[in-house]
Structure 1
Amino acid sequence: MLQIQVDEEVIKELYQKAIDERLKELDQELVYWDTKELKRRTCMSWNTILNTFFWEDDFPKVKIGGKWYFPADEAKRFLNQWLANKK
């Protein structure tokens, strides 16, 4: 008879590590965010974004046609700094 024991904590750690690595890969795949992605990344509504930081001169944004695009790395740096300044 064969008996197998599984350490559930080890399994959870392995799953979490794999998920974290995949999320990091996905995050690096995006060069630009659109408004939907910006809302998702900030957990803010579009109106809140417009009323808080969107119109600040140093917030990186480009409008092409009728659609806004945000360079992902620059936007992330701006948002981290912006939030740090709100403390």
Structure 2
Amino acid sequence: MIEIKVDEGELKSLYLSEIQKRLDRIEFESMLMDSKQLCKMLSLSWPTVEKEFIRDPNFPKIRLGTKWLFNRSEVQQYINHWSIEIRKRGAKV
């Protein structure tokens, strides 16, 4: 006979951990990001993002009232192109 014992605390911890992973994935895959999500994606502070990217007229951005929004896939394409150009010029990214 097989006996299974379940630690409810451990089960709840695993369940909550899995839910958080899925929520993080949904957030990552969302189409539009706000400025905080952009900073998190780029691992940069907002002043650095403003200096290096927001001031660039080619950077994909949308101003909606006082809020900045960014299309995730367009930002990824821009950053890929930007990093290639930076390397071509001999700078480190």
TM-score (norm 2): 0.62
- Whole-Å separation in 2 of the counterparts to 1:38 and 1:74: 12
Unaligned runs of 5+ in 2: 1-21, 88-93
Equivalent position of 1:18 in the other structure: none
TM-score (norm 1): 0.66
What fraction of aligned residue pairs are identical, expressed as a percent? 30
Give CA deviations for 1:26-48 in whole Å, capped at 9, x if unaligned. Answer: 333x1101000000000000111
Equivalent position of 2:64 in the other structure: 64
RCO comparison, higher one (Cα < 8 Å, 6+): 1
Give CA deviations for 1:4-45 in whole Å, capped at 9, x if unaligned. Answer: xxxxxxxxxxxxxxxxxx69x5333x1101000000000000
Coordinate RMSD, CA, aligned: 2.4
Segments of 4+ moved more than 4 angstroms:
none
Equivalent position of 1:52 in the other structure: 52
Unaligned runs of 5+ in 1: 1-21
- Whole-Å separation in 2 of the counterparts to 1:62 and 1:70: 6
Shift in Å, 1:52: 1.0
1:67 partner letter:
K
- Whole-Å separation in 1 of the counterparts to 2:68 and 2:58: 15
